[in-house]
Amino acid sequence: MRLDKRVADQFGLSRRGADRAVRGGQIDVAGQTCFDPAREVGAEAELTHSPGRPRPETKARRIKVMYEDHHVLIVDKPAGLLTQPTPDRERDTLLERAGRYLAQTRGLATPYVGFVHRIDKQTSGVILLVCTPKALRPFQTLFRTHAIERSYLAVVEGIVKPARGMIDLPLVADRGDGRRGATRGEDAGVPAVTHYEVLEHFGTRASLLNCRLETGRTHQIRIHLAEIDHPVVGDPVYGPKGRLRFPVPFPRQALHAQALGFIHPMSAQALRIEAPLPADLKDLIAGLRERFGSNR
């Protein structure tokens, strides 16, 4: 018997209602969600109907809130999500998700969402948004004066030496090929400083770094690490041309915004918010350990 007919008969739904329930991810067959109304199921198959379960696309478009108060919202952004729309006017962005979250939780018809920093689309991790116009300038000042801890985890190619260091290279908007880059020329570019510490080596093929931003320029960590010949694994832009393909494929740059630490300018509260490693980076690190070994 077709699944939608079984659902209609067993749960007292119309065929149209049963079809919507299946396609909406509300029907489990033997404990597994099934989205195909035409699937043939036997009379002995155990069905479960969960009408309150959110649709998969709705669940996927939620945000993971790590801290919030009246003035700020700090979330764990997944890789692949834009912070805000580009000129192409993408509909699913962090801006849209945060606005929808605030509308639902605070009952606001037109919630205010302001950005004081950004992380790349393919970078995961912690990002701060302001929820009131009053908070915008104080938090902009916090970031502009670098009175905030911003630390990242990065998996990079090769063995980074020394184990601790500072990369002090100004950045330019166009390095000569239309892309951002670093410059060693005097009085050129904007100051950019990245501090790093090696957390782990994977044989001779890769290193896990903690990177702390002293300044916060666009693509700063990715550019700086590429400039010292240790590009971020999976970085499609700043890796050197002609470099051998990294032996463990990774579909994005292996960069994660791990933590924000600051004194809240509105409440004077000391905060440090840390985002856990996402599953794909955990898997990458586990794969590197298994294939090349680990030296921590």
Phi, psi of 14 (to 5 degrees): -70, 165
28 and 43 in contact (C-beta within 8 Å)?
Answer: no
Q: Which residues contact 264 (CB under 8 A, 6 or more apart)?
A: 69, 72, 270, 271
The CA–CA distances, whole Å, from 201 to 47, 184, 188, 191, 236 equal 49, 29, 34, 29, 22
Residue 35 identity: F
Place of tokens 């912690």: 126
Told to judge if 120 belongs to the known catalytic residues of this protein, a careful annotator would answer yes
71 and 135 in contact (C-beta within 8 Å)?
Answer: yes
Catalytic residue among 19, 76, 120, 235: 120
The secondary structure of residue 189, as a DSSP letter, is S
Burial class (CB in 10 A: 0-12, 13-18, 19+), 118: middle
Place of tokens 């794909």: 280
Compute the Cα dihedral for 26, 31, 37, 43 and give only its sign.
negative
Which of 53, 55, 18 has its CA nearest to residue 39? 18
Residue 25 falls in which region: left (phi positive, over 0), alpha (psi -120 to 50) or beta: left
> What amino acid positions are annotated as catalytic residues?
120
